[in-house]
Amino acid sequence: MNKDHMFSNNALKKLLIPIIIEQLLSSLIGTVDTMMVSNVGDEAMSAVSLVNSINVLVMQAFSALATGGVIVCSQYIGKKDDEMANKAAGQLLFSVGFLSVIVMSFCLIFRTGLLGWIFGSVEEAVMENSKTYLFYTALSFPFIAVYNSGAAIFRAQGVTKMPMKISIISNLINVCGNAIFIWVFHWEVMGVALATLISRVFSAVVVLYFLRQPKQTIVVKNYHKIRPDFRIIKTVLRIGIPSGVENSMFQLGKLMIQSTVSTMGTAAIAGQAMTSTLESLQSVAASSVGVALTTVVGQCIGASRRDEAKYYVKKMSVWSWCILVTSCIIVLILVRPVTILAGMEPESAKICVSLITTIVLVKPFIWVPSFTFVAALRAGGDVKYTMVTAIISMWICRVVLCIFLVRQFDMGPLAVWIGMFSDWTMRGIFFGTRLRSGKWLKHKVIE
C-alpha cells in the first residue's frame, strides 16, 4: 500500500477492532439478555420483543443524528479545523439531548395508546408487561442518545477504545442487573427494564466525563454553557435527519411487520424474536466495518482526497464480506444450543432454527452492498439519495410484499424474511450503482 495514504492497514485495524469488540459483546450480551427474559416466560419475552421494536425505532433515529455529527466532525478533522470540530461536537450533544427529552416525554404520556395503536389486540398479559417495559426504557432515551452521540464524537476522531470500554462495562451492568432483579427480587419485566435504565445512565455519565479530558482532538467542556448555534446545528441535521428518516422508516416497516407477526400467536412472536436477535448477531461485526468506514471516508473527503475514499470503500467492503460469512457460519452452528439454553418452547425453537438456516443461505450474497456501501454514501453527504432509495425499497419489498405473502399464502414468519431479502437486494443494486457513478463525492457538507 502507498505509504502516503491517510490510513495504513495497522491504523484501520486499530480503528475497526475496538468497534467490532464493542458491538459484538453488546450483541452477545443482548442475546444473553433475551435468553434471561425468555426464562421468565413467553409472555415476558413477547412483551420485550414488541416494545424493543419501538425502542429500536427511537434509538435508530438518534443514532442517525449522531452519524450526522460523525460525518461533520470527521470532515472538519480531515480539513484540520479542530475548532469547528469541537463546536460541531457540542452542538450535536445539545440538539440530540433536547430532542431525546421530547421523545421520552411523548412515550411516557401516550404509552398506553401507542402500544394499542401499534400492536392492536395482543394477549392481556403481554400488553401489561409491554406497558411496564416501555415506561422504564423510555426514561432511558436521553441517556442512550447522549451516550451514542458522545461515542460517535470519539469515533469521528479515530478514538474507538474508549466507547468500547464504556460499552463493555455498561452491558455487564445490564446483565448483572437482570440477574439480580429477575432471580433475586423477582421483578421480571420491570427488573429487565430497570437494569437497562441503570446501564444507560452509567454510559451517558462516563462518556460526558471523558469528553472533557484534554490531549484529544475534540474536547467538550462546560456542558451547561452550550447554547444553540443554528448554523452548525443545521449542518449536522442536514446530514443526520435524512439518515434518521431512513432509519426510522426502516424500523417503522419492521413495526408494521411485527404487528402482522403478533397476530400469528405467541410461538411465532417468540420464534421471530429470537431469530431477529441472532440475525442481528450475524450482522454486528460486519456492520462495524460501516461504522469505521464513515470516519475513514469522512476524513478523506475533508482532506480533499476523494480517490482514497473510493479505495477504502472497496478495501473495507471486502473485509465486511469476509467477516459476515464467518459470522453467519458461527451463528448457524450455535442456533440449536441457544434455543435450548434459552428454554424456548419446542414450537418456537423449531421456527427459529428454520428461519436462521434460510437466512444463512441467502444473506452473504446480498447484505454487504445494502449496508456497507450506504455508510460510504452517507459519509460523502449523499444522504437524500440513500434516504429515498431505502424508503421506497422498504415499503415495496419489506412491508407490502411481506403482508401480501402472509395474507394470501399464509407463509407465517418466513414471509418477513423473504421481504427482507428482497429489500436488501434492491438497496444493494441502487447503492452499488450510485457508488460506481461517483456522484456521491460531489456533495459539500462543510464550508
Q: Which of 170, 157, 14, 165 is nearest to 89 (CA)?
A: 157
153: left (phi over 0), alpha (psi -120 to 50) or beta: alpha
Helix crossing, 42-78 with 111-119: angle to 10°? Answer: 100
User: What amino acid is encoded at 308 in this protein?
Assistant: E
Q: Are 381 and 239 in contact (CB under 8 A)?
A: yes
CA 310 distance to own-chain centroid: 24
Name the residue with cell 456542558.
Answer: 223
Pull the grid cell for residue 261.
Answer: 407477526
pLDDT of the residue at 2: 53
pLDDT of the residue at 278: 87
Cα(250)–Cα(389) distance, integer angstroms:
11
Q: Which of 80, 444, 71 is nearest to 293 (CA)?
A: 71
Q: What is the pLDDT of residues 385-415, one digit of tens each?
A: 999 999 999 889 888 898 888 888 878 788 8
| Sequence-ordered list of residues with C-beta below 8 angstroms from that of 15, at least 6 positions apart, any chain | 7, 158, 160, 292, 295, 296
Cα(447)–Cα(432) distance, integer angstroms:
28
Task: Measure the N-to-C terminal CA separation of the chain; round to a whole number of Å.
Answer: 31
Q: Which of 298, 390, 233 is nearest to 77 (CA)?
A: 298
pLDDT of the residue at 1: 46
Q: Are 171 and 25 in contact (CB under 8 A)?
A: yes
Q: Which of 130, 147, 126, 128 is nearest to 198 (CA)?
A: 147
Pull the grid cell for residue 92.
Answer: 450535536
Residues of the chain with pLDDT under 50: 1
pTM: 0.82
- Residue 125's alpha-carbon distances to 43, 44, 128, 135, in angstroms, are 6, 8, 5, 16
Give me the sign of the Cα torsion angle 69, 70, 75, 78. Answer: positive
Cα 276-385-249 angle, rounded to 5 deg = 35
Give one DSSP letter per residue of 71-121, joined into a string: HHHHHHHHTT-HHHHHHHHHHHHHHHHHHHHHHHHHHHHSHHHHHHHHH-S
| Cβ neighbours, 10 Å, residue 185 | 11
433-440's contacts with Cβ under 8 Å and 24+ in sequence apart are 434/373, 434/377, 434/382, 434/385, 434/389, 435/310, 435/313, 435/373, 435/376, 435/377, 438/310, 439/382, 439/385, 440/376, 440/377, 440/380, 440/381, 440/382, 440/385
Question: In 3-state terms, what secondary structure has residue 304?
Answer: coil
pLDDT of the residue at 3: 54
pLDDT of the residue at 188: 86
Q: What is the pLDDT of residues 121-164, one digit of tens each?
A: 778 888 888 999 999 999 999 999 999 999 999 999 989 999 99
